[in-house]
Amino acid sequence: MTETPPALNLGTDGLLSGADFIPSPNCDERPDGEVVCLVVVHAISLPPGEFGGDGVERLFVNRLDPDAHPYYEGIHTLRVSAHFFIRRDGRIMQFVPCVARAWHAGVSCWRGHERCNDFSIGIEMEGCDERPFTDCQYERLAELVRALTRVYPIEDVTGHADIASGRKTDPGPCFDWSRVRHLLDD
């Protein structure tokens, strides 16, 4: 019997009910006057191509052990985060309250507006460019975006590659954008 995931609701504190909250220090205040209007979808797996470990959590809270995997030596000093991380099984983890600015987009531009971290919510999907995402990840992503649109005037859901063209490829060629659009239209 499959357990039904909890309903998703965003509180006034920017925390999502139904998500495990692990606070990241890699965030700050949004600039005055910025309104959250964009959702940026990313893909991440640590080590690359491996799922289910605690590497992403450790990266987002600055506790990635450089000796745990050769790949970590080159990234353990990065100070990055996302608001949310959706695991392969659909479990949602939150690292930064939505009222704060997570450090997920880097150098970026959307519709002529630079510094996408200022006005976006970053959602990391546990995945990579070479493998399809899971059914429950798409379902939870759609639920999460619906919860966000109940609070924020979200104008678009886009990929990291779309706002950091030539620099990033995620969520990658295996990400089914038409499926996301279909789920959001339901």
Catalytic residues: 124
CA distance 29 to 86: 23
Maximum Cα–Cα distance across the chain: 48
Contact residues for 149 (Cβ-Cβ < 8 A; gap 6+): none
Q: How far apart are CA 61 and CA 40, in angstroms?
A: 20
Measured from the Cβ of residue 13, the count of other Cβ atoms closer than 10 Å reads 9
Half-sphere exposure of 81 (CA within 13 A, CB side): 27
Instruction: Give the start-end residues of each E strand in the chain.
Output: 9-10, 16-17, 20-21, 27-29, 38-44, 84-86, 92-94, 100-102, 109-110, 113-114, 120-126, 156-159
